[in-house]
Amino acid sequence: DAKTTQPPSMDCAEGRAANLPCNHSTISGNEYVYWYRQIHSQGPQYIIHGLKNNETNEMASLIITEDRKSSTLILPHATLRDTAVYYCIVRGNSGGSNYKLTFGKGTLLTVNP
């Protein structure tokens, strides 16, 4: 799976949008971008995933650049409960060991009141 690079930490004011970047310059054509988050003392929680089109669900939006070498997770109105470590993961579509999630160190997002 392609390697991802994320900033170690970010801060965001409550009620503002949180934009979390991820670089995945070695991503291949059949690999998806996944985002998970991990709130303190809990297991990781799935947020969203995408291939090349932008995606939106009730939790967040995912913007993937046209060359697919980077993406941004957007939490439109961050709350204190969004404070967590956010992991960007690149994962294959089929074949090989695409069932594995390969986590990096992620980005610690701290939402401040």
Binding site for another protein (CB under 8 A): 32, 41-46, 49, 51, 85, 87, 91-94, 97-106
Residue 105 CB, nearest distance to another protein (Å)? 6
Q: Which is nearer to another protein, 41 or 113 (CB)?
A: 41
Nearer to another protein (CB atom), residue 42 or residue 113: 42
Q: How far is the CB of 107 from another protein (least distance, A)?
A: 11
Which residues lie below 8 Å from residue 33, measured CB to CB, with a gap of 6+? 22, 24, 27, 49, 50, 51, 62, 64, 68, 71, 88, 89, 90
CB of 79 to another protein, least distance (A): 21
Task: Please name which of 10, 27, 13 lies closest in space to residue 71, comparing C-alpha atoms.
Answer: 27
CA distance 78 to 43: 20
